Structure 1
Amino acid sequence: MEKVIFYTKENCSLCDDAESLLELFQQDYAFEIDKRDIYTNDAWLEAYHLLIPVVDIKGIQLNCEQMDFGTVEETLKTYLPREAQK
């Protein structure tokens, strides 16, 4: 199963919203969320501290300014397979 990397931090309402959006899309797309707290890794903190939440879908990164339903859906649709209809 594909992994979507989700860079986040605690006490971040934008991050909470982005995580809820990703969980919603898991109903239609086959992926696991690899949640990474940027405060546990200096490189992540330096790279993403002004951009979180950041979602990495097969190397395509969406930051806080791109974290909307349409953009996330279009990126998932382009790079990840849809779940088989149940």
Structure 2
Amino acid sequence: MEVNYYTRNKCELCEEGKLLLQLLQEEYPFEIIEKDIDASDELTEKFGLMIPVVEINGEIVQYGRIDLAALEKELKENLK
């Protein structure tokens, strides 16, 4: 399974969220596809004020400050 992670440079919340995703990778089989929103005007317009954004199977499951327990629940549900 792939998890899209929308982020940008010099973003503390993005760094924290990535660490949480990497922690969950130790327990669950998924790949993190990191996408820098600053590389695309479309992504900047769509996610500019929301980052970081976690997207699983085309659905935004979390944004802003990432909650480990809620993210783990989403991963479990999507891995069924």
* Counterpart for residue 69 of structure 1: 68
Whichever of the two has the greater Rg, that structure is 1
**Unaligned residue ranges in structure 1 (runs of 5+):** 82-86
Distance (whole Å) between structure 2 residues aligned to residue 14 and residue 53 of structure 1: 7
* Counterpart for residue 11 of structure 1: 10
**Unaligned residue ranges in structure 2 (runs of 5+):** none
Q: How many residues align?
A: 79
Percent of residue pairs identical? 38
Distance (whole Å) between structure 2 residues aligned to residue 58 and residue 28 of structure 1: 19
So what's the TM-score if we normalise by structure 1? 0.86
Q: How big is the shift at 1:59?
A: 2.1
Distance (whole Å) between structure 1 residues aligned to residue 70 and residue 58 of structure 2: 15
SS at match of 2:6: strand
* Counterpart for residue 84 of structure 1: none
Q: After TM superposition, list the pairs within 5 Å mapping 1:4-83 onto structure 2.
A: 4-61=3-60, 62-65=62-65, 67-80=66-79
So what's the TM-score if we normalise by structure 2? 0.93
Aligned residues: CA RMSD: 1.1
* Matched residue type, 2:25: Q
